[in-house]
Structure 1
Amino acid sequence: MRFVLCRTMVRRVVCLAVLLSAFAASTHAFAVSPRQLVEMADFSSPVVSPDGSRVAFRIQRASIERDTYDTVWYVQPMDGSSPPQRVGDGGVPLRDSAGIELPPTPVWSPDGRWIYYRARLNDRIDIWRASANGDAAERVTQGDADVRDFSLSVDGKVLQYSVGPTREDVAAAEQAEYDRGVRVDRSTPLGQNLFRSGATGGRLATQRLGLIFNRVDLTDAVPDRWKAVDLATGAVRDLAPSEKPAAALTAADLAKQVNHVWKLDRDRASGRLALLTRTAETTDHPQIVLAMLPAGSTGRVVTCVAKACSGKAISGVQWRPGSDEVIFTVSPYSDGFAQSIYRWNVDTGVVTPVATSTGMFGGEGSWGPGVCGVSPTALACVTAEANRPARLERVDLQTGVRAVLFDPNQALAQAISGIPMQRLRWTDAKGQTLTGQLYSARRTGTAPPPLFVTYYRCLGFMRGGSGDEWPLATMAEQGISTLCINAPSFSSDAATRYEVGQSAVESAINRLAAEGKADRSKIGMGGLSFGSEAMMWILIHSHAIAAASMASPTTSPMYYLLGSNIGDPFVSLLRSNWQLGNPDEASAPWRQISPTFNLGRIDAPILMQFSEQEYMHGLDYAIPMMRSNRADLYVFPHEPHNKFQPKHKLAVYERNLDWFRFWLLGVEDPAPEKAPQYVYWRSMRSSLHDAR
């Protein structure tokens, strides 16, 4: 039965290609091009001045020609009375070891004259300050080591900051290891180059493993040295350990008073704490509670019991300055994480709705929302929806009236508006509610269009899907409908997680096919991280997918071999999250999950576009699939889990677009430089045909 189904699917794909190959695609203008998506403007989280009159934020844009990012700090009046004023250069974006940008949060001086921020400029990380009126931007720290952290005194007269080893010492340590050879131990990041191969602190650095696969700088363990600079005189002095500024309050600090603290925000005036508590992360549907802890260690926790905050998916919490109100955000899965904002008066218990959205009030991204800047009267929010990219809005806290302050993506928003978008909500065969965002394809006839699916998280404007690798709007404009599906839950049992994903994808296909909105024989799928894992499960256990694209490797014996060098932390994680032991035992979970044990069951061609830090983890199945003409593998140098280099982002977007147009539409781009990829893809198509 499996062989018959496989032959049927292959025949459909091959026949489609043969029928359409005669109609060679001509180059034509894009309504929304991959380049536009790469080079759109991204916002940092806005921060409001102490008097509530102005907001500071950073804009970041990719430059494909220079393969870098331009970042600029702006200040704008909260009432929108004038456009934003450029005040300073933000430097090279700093990222974590997975490639995700670190929040570039500025600190306002108490008098509102300056914003202070950490930036990598001229090959060094320092604290800079920019005047709010745009008249001056100057470096505040002058040492020979990169700044790791900073704090401004309450009166704004002294800047305290920490540094690590000198830049010269870091370079010498890396070079010495290069000259002597790298001794492999449990902290060695196997599977990547070992000398200056990953971005840390905005530079290519020699890395070590921190927690499991998190990378840190080679000299990360060198203790911080704290200094202080008098901002009036410029005098710098070393701080004694007792003078080190207190660290920001964390959930761990409250563990003895309140269980399961997840997020918190302190009222500067009174010291009261707004809290979100949440049950264990392994729970499919954690219970979230909004509460307030009075100042002092003996106060009684006050819980919000109003209907608007009971049993709700509360995702963010902030104090409203100069008031007894806490601002909280609700992001329900049942509405595709579309956000609403409320005010909770901690004295009266009254909850008042402020505003609702079909998208995000706290920006966008794969890992959840940021926060709005908050003043006594209004919020400054980076808003984004599936059919409209990010812009800065003012939200009045009394009336809920929204007004756009700055929209650098207006041209892209206008282009996107011509592509039909629909927020979907449906149930699968087990009655589970599912949500997603659908861009409908530009259609040239009455036949249902192909469909591309990605699965994980779909927040705000999903330009590249969950993982930012597939230009969703461009694919729709080119004739392939695109659907991003939100994972409804994350069970601690791996098989359950993937079965939920399979049901979500197959039920979406069934619904859209029944409505004449998708051709079930022309389904593509792509995934990064958990999305890649779920996709591989579907490829192994189903024949729903005609062509696939992987952005990161999935679990395999090679992954186990390289990770096991870390020792017990990795082995324990593999057992708890995937129920996997040693692959030599070839246990049932390994046979269910790993493509290495299921090569004969995967009948869809796979495009693999992996980062250099991860590609070796999947070679035990990638190489056999390449040798049998079923996979095409590309590796991107110096990239971590999430690719971020602009030229690489564009290449990934364009190749994914070409891949799915080839397999789902039978169309080839006639650009001469792309001819080699089509030679190989045609040979893959012939191999699939011969395998019937």
Structure 2
Amino acid sequence: MNAVKKGRAFAMAMAGVVLAAVVGVSHAGKIPPRRLVEVVDLSTPDISPDGRLVAYRAERASVERNTYGSVWYVQEMDGSAPPRRVGDGGVPIRDSAGGSFPATAVWSPDGRFIYYRALLDGRVDVWRAAVDGSGSEAVTFDPADVREFSLADDGRTLKYSTGATRDEVMRAERSEYDRGIHIDETVPVGAGLFRSSFVGGRPATQRYIGIWFARGPLLGSVPERWREIDLETGARRELPQDDPAQERKPGSVDSAALPVIMFEARDPESGRTAVITRTDGGDRTKRSNLSELAILPGEDGQDPVKCGAEPCTGKAVTSVQWRPGGQEVLFTVTDRAAGESQAIFRWNIATGEVRPVVAARGFINGGRERSSVCGISVSALACVAAEADSPPRLERVDIATGQRRVLFEPNAALARDLEAAISSRLLKWKDKDGKEFTGQLFTGRAGHEGKRPLFINYYHCTGFLRGGVGDEWPLASLAEAGISTLCINAPPLVADPVVRFDGALDAVEAAIELLAAEDAVDPKRVGMGGLSFGSEVALWTAMRSDLLSAVSVTSPSVTPLYYLMNSAKGDMFTSGLRAIWGLGTPEETPAQWKRLSPTYNVDTIRAPVLFQMPEEEYMYALDYIMPLMRGQRADLYVFPNEPHRKFQPRHMVAAYGRNFDWFRFWLQGVEDDDPEKVVQYARWREMRSAVGAPESQQAVARHD
């Protein structure tokens, strides 16, 4: 490495820590970690058929109840009145990794009602809410949870799909428990086997279903059953398998003759489909984030049309939707070089003309994902806007002029306090090979003279940066407390894992060099944390360099134990392991295992590591966590009933708070004088002595 020599003693990496003060330092910040957990998120907005109203769901964590509350609102698109509460949105429905599924509403053709799925009282039904706020009610009342639904016959009929009933699932769970659970390729070995994770709002038994590690409830593979309800009479009937409700849905365009499809949208008027396809064709050796936009022929038999204008050529087109009328599509471009900022364009299919609609400093779509879409009418968009340093809000965007107007700002107080507490800037730099990177840097505005410590999070820096991917590290809170925080955007992930990890390490090193050259940070006080790929990069950086003074991870890296516990899955697992990491069995590819796995590189990890792991995954990493713990270089916490991403609010507050304490301790020498944390700090002080911190660093500052 060109700036930091491998093999330097960890004590040297820790040298030079300057305490903010020795005793009695107070930190009464505007942005405590809990505020970042309690951010209000907004769902994909949906505009009424007449374009006059917009419906959306607001979702917020309740730490006291350790759950989430959500409310459906309807509001005038002209902003002439505040939002009107129309219905309870229930507990967010989550995927098996812990992420919240987007909540969408379906408007009745007459604009009097919205229909939506909601998890309330332990059941997922379709609900109907009157947009005047006069009331809401469940419509389906099905013994099974509703998976999908649609309105038909001009809004007179509701069609919906289900799987096994809730009683059938619970009986199957109990039967397995009584008879003993047979271990096969569908069983998540290493997680609890009986009702261990939350599915549908309750602890439920899980099985692998779908690709890679995707999970679903027991009996989740039962074929869908479709039913319909006459909304005027209440009559119900089963639908035959060939009913149009079960025809091809978005996401199922045959990709055999096309590059890999990333996104598609069907125009209900013409039957044509707009598709976004990868320019790399899915080839991992040529991985790119660039894409192409095209229109496939529909019922009108028109020829396929490809967008060839500059805004949709050689860009990362991340979503597309049809403007009512069928002659234009609006598409979103996400610019990684500009720090994951987004712009929306409109493409006239007949003329080929592409015009800009709006450009934003951050996200302007329908949620937290790049591919989210705004609500759309003939004349306006309803978009969820968010920047790295500014939390979500709802905006109206005029399609013709691009004029923006805030309709709803539930996080206004937090936005004001963030502006007062931290500064943010887009950082651009190159590594030693000239490869370009971008990241978002947060710096506290008050006090903290001299070079500051630095915390780095590596993966994606999209939308409002509360805690990086996975929401684990309170970036603004750390910055306000005097530790600058940098979120680095990873480039498209290439096939060779060594190239992938070394490229990340080069990016981290170059960023530290840049900020150190600006006298902005102290290169000897750098911490790092990440989830999933970000966890792998953080441990790789600790293994392959002495850049880091402290590390925090929440996901496992590949280990022989990881291989053993998942090998029952067969080819679906082993083929993925070979494709992503180039690994066969430990006997087949021993050199690659020794190169990649922390299990064989424990002695090279000199920085202390905080492991805050989900119960479903922590066991995969024990063959390197336990040796690090025995060497007093690691501290391990496991969060029950959590999948890949933690989502229980109390767990998130705990993880945020402990990460805050961890990096203040190692990078600033600061301890919180909360009496409940006495044991925590006693353990960390023993670790600090074990890793050989200089005597000058044994004094400990305290804060409130």
Query: Which TM-score band applies after superposition, normalised by the shorter structure?
Result: over 0.9
Residue 484 of structure 2: aligned partner: 481
Pairing of 1:40-119 with structure 2 (within 5 A)? 40-119=39-118
Residue 216 of structure 1: aligned partner: 216
Q: Distance in 1 between matches of 2:364 and 2:4?
A: 49
Residue 471 of structure 1: aligned partner: 474
Q: Distance in 2 between matches of 1:380 and 1:171?
A: 41
The one-letter amino acid of 2:143's match is D
- Change in Cα spacing, 1:654 to 1:496, as seen in structure 2 (3 Å) is same
Unaligned stretches of 5+ residues in structure 2:
696-704
Q: Distance in 1 between matches of 2:29 and 2:647?
A: 23
TM-score, normalised to structure 2, is 0.94
For each residue in 1:614-645, what CA deviation from the matched residue of structure 2 results, as whole angstroms up to 9, or x when unmatched?
00000000011111100000000000000000
Equivalent pair of 1:363/1:390 in contact (CA under 8 Å) = no
The one-letter amino acid of 2:222's match is V
1:453 aligns with 2:456: yes
For each residue in 1:326-345, what CA deviation from the matched residue of structure 2 results, as whole angstroms up to 9, or x when unmatched?
10111121111211111111
Residue 689 of structure 1: aligned partner: 692
For each residue in 1:331-374, what CA deviation from the matched residue of structure 2 results, as whole angstroms up to 9, or x when unmatched?
12111121111111111111111111110011553x53411001
Equivalent pair of 1:363/1:384 in contact (CA under 8 Å) = no
The one-letter amino acid of 1:33's match is P
How large is the Cα RMSD of the aligned pairs?
2.1
For each residue in 1:572-595, what CA deviation from the matched residue of structure 2 results, as whole angstroms up to 9, or x when unmatched?
111111011222456222122111
- Change in Cα spacing, 1:439 to 1:558, as seen in structure 2 (3 Å) is same
Residue 609 of structure 2: aligned partner: 606
- Change in Cα spacing, 1:295 to 1:222, as seen in structure 2 (3 Å) is closer
Q: Distance in 2 between matches of 1:485 and 1:255?
A: 33
Q: CA deviation at 1:20?
A: 3.6
Give secondary structure in 1 for the equivalent of 2:671: coil
Q: CA deviation at 1:201?
A: 2.1
- Change in Cα spacing, 1:186 to 1:167, as seen in structure 2 (3 Å) is same
Residue 370 of structure 2: aligned partner: 368
The one-letter amino acid of 2:365's match is G
Residue 406 of structure 2: aligned partner: 404
Equivalent pair of 1:14/1:685 in contact (CA under 8 Å) = no
- Change in Cα spacing, 1:178 to 1:351, as seen in structure 2 (3 Å) is same
Q: Distance in 2 between matches of 1:598 and 1:443?
A: 40
Equivalent pair of 2:515/2:521 in contact (CA under 8 Å) = yes
Q: CA deviation at 1:242?
A: 3.0
Q: CA deviation at 1:409?
A: 0.3
Residue 647 of structure 1: aligned partner: 650
Give secondary structure in 1 for the equivalent of 2:178: helix
For each residue in 1:9-43, what CA deviation from the matched residue of structure 2 results, as whole angstroms up to 9, or x when unmatched?
32452663xx7497235454221111111111001
Residue 234 of structure 2: aligned partner: 234
Deviates more, 1:298-307 or 1:455-464: 298-307
- Change in Cα spacing, 1:364 to 1:590, as seen in structure 2 (3 Å) is farther
Q: Distance in 2 between matches of 1:364 and 1:510?
A: 35
Equivalent pair of 2:41/2:60 in contact (CA under 8 Å) = yes
1:384 aligns with 2:348: no
Equivalent pair of 2:15/2:693 in contact (CA under 8 Å) = no
- Change in Cα spacing, 1:21 to 1:296, as seen in structure 2 (3 Å) is closer
For each residue in 1:72-111, what CA deviation from the matched residue of structure 2 results, as whole angstroms up to 9, or x when unmatched?
0011111111111100001111101000111111111111
Q: Which of residues 584, 589, 592 in structure 2 aligns to 1:589?
A: 592
Q: CA deviation at 1:524?
A: 0.2
Residue 441 of structure 1: aligned partner: 444
- Change in Cα spacing, 1:363 to 1:227, as seen in structure 2 (3 Å) is closer
Residue 630 of structure 1: aligned partner: 633
- Change in Cα spacing, 1:306 to 1:421, as seen in structure 2 (3 Å) is same
Equivalent pair of 1:489/1:497 in contact (CA under 8 Å) = no
Q: CA deviation at 1:289?
A: 1.5
1:9 aligns with 2:6: no
- Change in Cα spacing, 1:445 to 1:186, as seen in structure 2 (3 Å) is closer
The one-letter amino acid of 1:368's match is R
The one-letter amino acid of 1:220's match is G
Q: CA deviation at 1:223?
A: 2.3
Residue 577 of structure 1: aligned partner: 580
Unaligned stretches of 5+ residues in structure 1:
none
Give secondary structure in 2 for the equivalent of 1:296: coil
Equivalent pair of 2:618/2:638 in contact (CA under 8 Å) = yes
For each residue in 1:282-333, what CA deviation from the matched residue of structure 2 results, as whole angstroms up to 9, or x when unmatched?
2322542122223238532111222222212211111111251110111121
Give secondary structure in 2 for the equivalent of 1:413: helix
Residue 551 of structure 1: aligned partner: 554
The one-letter amino acid of 1:10's match is A
- Change in Cα spacing, 1:12 to 1:486, as seen in structure 2 (3 Å) is closer
Residue 699 of structure 2: aligned partner: none
Pairing of 1:287-366 with structure 2 (within 5 A)? 287-296=290-299, 298-363=301-366, 365=368
Equivalent pair of 2:473/2:659 in contact (CA under 8 Å) = yes
Q: CA deviation at 1:163?
A: 2.3
Residue 261 of structure 2: aligned partner: 261
The one-letter amino acid of 1:508's match is A
1:512 aligns with 2:515: yes
Deviates more, 1:633-642 or 1:320-329: 320-329
Residue 698 of structure 2: aligned partner: none
- Change in Cα spacing, 1:64 to 1:170, as seen in structure 2 (3 Å) is same
Residue 393 of structure 1: aligned partner: 395
Residue 668 of structure 1: aligned partner: 671
Equivalent pair of 2:197/2:203 in contact (CA under 8 Å) = yes
Q: Distance in 1 between matches of 2:184 and 2:364?
A: 45
1:531 aligns with 2:534: yes
- Change in Cα spacing, 1:12 to 1:51, as seen in structure 2 (3 Å) is same
- Change in Cα spacing, 1:595 to 1:344, as seen in structure 2 (3 Å) is same
Equivalent pair of 1:442/1:480 in contact (CA under 8 Å) = no
Pairing of 1:195-210 with structure 2 (within 5 A)? 195-210=194-209
- Change in Cα spacing, 1:670 to 1:140, as seen in structure 2 (3 Å) is same
- Change in Cα spacing, 1:487 to 1:382, as seen in structure 2 (3 Å) is same
Q: State how many pairs are aligned.
A: 689
Q: Distance in 2 between matches of 1:3 and 1:85?
A: 58
Equivalent pair of 2:629/2:635 in contact (CA under 8 Å) = yes
- Change in Cα spacing, 1:363 to 1:518, as seen in structure 2 (3 Å) is farther
Equivalent pair of 2:610/2:635 in contact (CA under 8 Å) = yes
Equivalent pair of 1:441/1:482 in contact (CA under 8 Å) = no
Equivalent pair of 1:278/1:289 in contact (CA under 8 Å) = yes
For each residue in 1:656-690, what CA deviation from the matched residue of structure 2 results, as whole angstroms up to 9, or x when unmatched?
00000000000000000011100100000010118
Give secondary structure in 1 for the equivalent of 2:641: coil
Equivalent pair of 1:364/1:459 in contact (CA under 8 Å) = no
Q: CA deviation at 1:154?
A: 3.8
Give secondary structure in 2 for the equivalent of 1:241: coil
Q: Distance in 2 between matches of 1:538 and 1:5?
A: 11
Q: Distance in 2 between matches of 1:288 and 1:22?
A: 52
Equivalent pair of 2:260/2:277 in contact (CA under 8 Å) = yes
Q: Which of residues 488, 491, 494 in structure 1 aligns to 2:494?
A: 491
Equivalent pair of 1:550/1:609 in contact (CA under 8 Å) = yes
- Change in Cα spacing, 1:40 to 1:4, as seen in structure 2 (3 Å) is closer
The one-letter amino acid of 2:536's match is E
Q: Distance in 2 between matches of 1:442 and 1:585?
A: 54
Q: Distance in 1 between matches of 2:326 and 2:187?
A: 51
The one-letter amino acid of 2:273's match is L
Give secondary structure in 1 for the equivalent of 2:521: coil
Q: CA deviation at 1:52?
A: 1.3
Equivalent pair of 2:530/2:552 in contact (CA under 8 Å) = yes
Q: Distance in 2 between matches of 1:648 and 1:453?
A: 22
- Change in Cα spacing, 1:5 to 1:25, as seen in structure 2 (3 Å) is farther
Equivalent pair of 1:323/1:376 in contact (CA under 8 Å) = no
Give secondary structure in 1 for the equivalent of 2:509: helix
Equivalent pair of 1:87/1:131 in contact (CA under 8 Å) = yes
